[in-house]
């Protein structure tokens, strides 16, 4: 960690790497780079004044809309640059984020574009029909039964521009049956192709020969035969592939496009005269890293769009076919940036080690404890490294003396406190002198921050896939953070921790949360996290709110959805909550240790708790 980046919070927290200009640091605060640039702390405090405590999920629809516009404008730019004759179209894949607080403003904000929705289940298909403008594309992927195909036919009758992408020959047979039963209009048909090219990384099963999805070459030919036999060739309009999410390297996509481009040309030659589109699925990656060296993708959006357009132009020319419509289903790219989780810090574990808590004896302190006290009193930037080493040595000796029975518990408490105080001081004194030692010290003596959120609920991919998310404090960015931090959530699961990692270190401020509030922002949590979140320990979704901007740049907090209260969570688990209430009331009525006149009051208090959400509220004055 160089000196420069420590004093520049934008670099320290990597905003220049992951921020995409959506957030900026100004006056020591993280601000939304839109409208009158409100700070996230300001928004958070407004919510808290209205009683919404605990973690907050803030949605910024303008960011999602901006990402869709970026996608369109980059493809349009690349098309112009390469003189590409085909069109560009896109849909949002619902599985990435189906929540109304996201989908409704997304579709509202993009209605001037030819932007639609992709569905992978019946429920998603209903959403796609309800929220896609008539004429804009709907695509349907995933395994389908007859009912799902019928819904697709109904959508076509409603006037929707819908494409059913078949994953296997049996689905085509079902479409043929439904076409006989229901007649026209018949939805457009897409064929998912099974690539020779493998998928990527942890999503390898999305593409390639071992893929769960797609038709082999033999099956493609078989599908063409069936389409011809039933006079449906003109419905075949798209071929589709998806090589997996968060592709870090662009080369598998390039291979896949070559393969798909050639399949497209071959199918057109065998008579698919209305085959116009190649759907390249999703996979466009998001930069989650807070350090340039750890970047999760080796390409930019310019490069991505250039490669796709250029390759398809080249293949079309060499095969002598018209340039296909390019279709994308980027989800993560559109959704990830739009949501920020704001979580209050409840406690710093080493806060108990303050000078106040020293219990030095008037006389009879062991000489080494006295020496620790002298080190603590006289440490300065010149001797800090040496004194720190001495302190750690003394601690070892003193702990051994305790084990042997030579010093008492008070001496041991003084030892722990003094060593922590010396560590804290030396970290501050040494921070301008980056060295292996200070790095080692920071790695060894982290501060543990207890944070009011559930990692399982709000960052499930951190737990399940080791996906890191940008995290940083929302204020105090004018002053340097001095503590290497590990973050603990409030579940009682030891996996609920964002451990300190020296390769990707998180430094936070040394705050006294008894006296001042300190909030952390977890950024880019808008893709996949909400729907995959688990109610581990019965922690429910955090309270969410949408931040909308007026034309004059002011903002409004809207669509607040409060975290579920305890009774509702239990009800969701199919407990009979009336039965729970009855049992509790009975236990209170029958308890010998409760006075009769107290019973009503105690029951009332308990009811109050049942009507609140389960996140922590009163661990200190903040909550």
Q: Summarize as ranges the residues that interact with ligand PLP (CB under 6 A).
A: 93, 95-96, 141, 242, 245-246, 281-284, 329-333
Residue 307 — φ and ψ, nearest 5°? Answer: -60, -45
Looking at the Cβ atoms of 38 and 533, the one nearer to ligand PLP is 533
Per-residue tokens: 31: 């601000």
Closer CB to ligand PLP, 171 or 329, in the complex? 329
**Alpha-carbon distance 248 to 283, whole Å?**
9
Cα–Cα distance measured from residue 428 to residue 445, given in angstroms and rounded to the nearest whole number: 13
The least distance separating ligand PLP from the CB of residue 335, rounded to whole angstroms, comes to 8
Residue 142 or 324: the one with the smaller Cβ distance to ligand PLP is 142
CB–CB of 521/471 below 8 Å? Answer: yes
Q: Which is nearer to ligand PLP, 97 or 454 (CB)?
A: 97
CA distance 596 to 590: 10
Q: Which is nearer to ligand PLP, 327 or 462 (CB)?
A: 327
- Rounded CA gap, 428 and 423, in Å? 9
Residue, CB closest to ligand PLP: 282
Nearer CB in complex with ligand PLP: 323/329: 329
Backbone torsions φ then ψ of 133, nearest 5 degrees: -60, 140
Query: What's the closest the beta carbon of residue 246 comes to ligand PLP, in angstroms?
Result: 6
Q: Minimum Å distance from CB 333 to ligand PLP?
A: 6
Using the minimum distance from each CB to ligand PLP, give the nearer residue, 148 or 284.
Answer: 284
Cα–Cα distance, 613 to 623 (Å, whole number): 13
Cβ pair 443, 502 in contact under 8 A: yes
Query: Measured between alpha carbons, how far apart are the two ends of the chain, in Å?
Result: 34
Of 196 and 205, the one with the shorter C-beta distance to ligand PLP is 205
**Please, which residue, 331 or 344, has the CB nearer to ligand PLP?**
331
Of 332 and 483, which has the nearer Cβ to ligand PLP?
A: 332
DSSP 3-state assignment of 201? helix
Nearest to 30 by CA among 523, 589, 594, 549: 523
Q: Which two tokens stand for residue 250?
A: 């662009």
CA-based radius of gyration for the chain: 30
Residue among 161 and 417 whose Cβ is closer to ligand PLP? 161
CB of 98 to ligand PLP, least distance (A): 12
Contact (CB, 8 A) for 418 and 377: no
CB of 468 to ligand PLP, least distance (A): 17
Both structure tokens of 278: 């190649």
Nearest to 469 by CA among 422, 429, 510, 527: 527
Q: How far is the CB of 528 from ligand PLP (least distance, A)?
A: 7
Smallest distance, Å, CB 286 to ligand PLP? Answer: 9
Nearest distance from residue 243's CB to ligand PLP, in Å? Answer: 9
Give 470-499 as a 3 state SS string: CEEECCCCCCCCCEEEEEECCCCCCCCEEC
Chain centre to alpha carbon of residue 32 = 18
Give 349's strand partners: none
Q: How far is the CB of 287 from ligand PLP (least distance, A)?
A: 14
Smallest separation, CB 242 to ligand PLP (Å): 4
Give the CA-trace dihedral at 499, 504, 505, 508, to 10 degrees.
-90
The DSSP letter of residue 611 is: T
Answer yes or no: are the C-beta atoms of 90 and 330 closer than 8 Å: yes
Residue 471, φ and ψ in degrees, nearest 5: -135, 140
Find the shortest distance in angstroms from Cβ 62 to ligand PLP: 20
Residue 206 or 458: the one with the smaller Cβ distance to ligand PLP is 206
Q: How far is the CB of 283 from ligand PLP (least distance, A)?
A: 5
Distance of CA 123 to the CA centre of its chain: 23
């Amino acid at each position: 960690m160089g000196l420069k980046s420590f004093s520049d919070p934008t670099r320290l927290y990597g905003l220049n790497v992951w921020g995409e200009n959506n957030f900026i640091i100004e006056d020591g605060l993280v601000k939304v780079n839109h409208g009158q640039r409100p700070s996230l702390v300001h928004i958070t405090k407004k919510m808290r004044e209205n009683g919404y405590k605990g973690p907050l999920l803030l949605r910024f629809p303008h960011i999602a809309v901006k990402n869709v516009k970026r996608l369109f404008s980059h493809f349009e730019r690349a098309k112009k640059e390469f003189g590409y004759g085909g069109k560009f179209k896109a849909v949002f894949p619902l599985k990435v984020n189906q929540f109304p607080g996201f989908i409704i403003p997304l579709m509202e904000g993009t209605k001037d574009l030819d932007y639609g929705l992709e569905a992978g289940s019946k429920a998603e298909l209903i959403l796609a029909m309800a929220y896609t403008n008539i004429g804009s594309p709907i695509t349907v992927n995933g395994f389908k039964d007859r009912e799902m195909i019928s819904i697709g036919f109904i959508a076509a009758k409603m006037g929707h521009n819908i494409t059913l992408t078949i994953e296997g020959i049996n689905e085509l047979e079902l479409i043929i049956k439904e076409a006989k039963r229901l007649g026209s209009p018949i939805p457009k048909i897409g064929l998912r192709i099974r690539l020779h090219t493998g998928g990527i990384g942890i999503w390898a099963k999305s593409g390639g020969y071992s893929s769960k999805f797609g038709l082999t070459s033999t099956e493609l030919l078989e599908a063409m035969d069936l389409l011809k036999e039933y006079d449906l060739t003109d419905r075949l309009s798209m071929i589709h592939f998806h090589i997996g999410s968060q592709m870090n390297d662009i080369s598998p996509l390039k291979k896949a496009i070559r393969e798909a481009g050639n399949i497209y040309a071959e199918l057109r030659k065998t008579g698919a005269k209305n085959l116009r589109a190649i759907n390249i699925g999703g996979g466009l990656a998001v930069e989650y890293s807070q350090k340039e060296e750890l970047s999760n993708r080796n390409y930019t959006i310019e490069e991505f769009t250039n490669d796709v357009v250029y390759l398809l132009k080249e293949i079309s020319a060499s095969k002598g076919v018209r340039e296909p419509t390019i279709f994308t289903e980027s989800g993560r790219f559109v959704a990830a940036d739009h949501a920020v989780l704001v979580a209050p810090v409840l406690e710093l574990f080493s806060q108990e080690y303050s000078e106040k808590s020293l219990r030095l004896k008037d006389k009879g302190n062991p000489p080494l404890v006295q020496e620790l006290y002298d080190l603590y009193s006289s440490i300065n930037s010149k001797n800090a490294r040496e004194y720190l080493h001495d302190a750690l040595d003394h601690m070892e000796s003193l702990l051994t003396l305790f084990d042997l029975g030579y010093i008492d518990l008070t001496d041991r408490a003084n030892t722990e406190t003094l060593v922590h105080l010396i560590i804290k001081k030396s970290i501050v004194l040494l921070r301008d002198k980056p060295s292996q030692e200070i790095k080692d010290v920071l790695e060894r003596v982290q501060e543990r921050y207890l944070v009011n959120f559930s990692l399982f609920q709000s960052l499930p991919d951190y737990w399940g896939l080791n996906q890191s998310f940008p995290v940083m404090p929302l204020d105090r960015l004018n002053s340097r953070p001095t503590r290497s931090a590990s973050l603990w959530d409030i579940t009682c699961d030891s996996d609920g921790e964002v451990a300190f990692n020296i390769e990707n270190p998180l430094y936070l401020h040394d705050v006294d949360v008894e006296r001042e509030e300190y909030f952390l922002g977890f950024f880019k949590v808008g893709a996949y996290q909400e729907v995959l979140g688990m109610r581990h320990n019965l922690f429910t979704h955090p309270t969410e709110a949408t931040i909308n901007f007026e034309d004059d740049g002011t903002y409004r907090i809207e669509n607040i959805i409060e975290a579920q209260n305890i009774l509702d969570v239990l009800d969701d688990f199919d407990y009979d909550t009336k039965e729970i209430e009855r049992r509790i009331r009975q236990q209170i009525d029958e308890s010998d240790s409760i006075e009769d006149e107290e019973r009503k009051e105690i029951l009332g208090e308990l009811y109050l708790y049942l009507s609140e959400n389960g996140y922590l509220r009163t661990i200190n004055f903040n909550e």
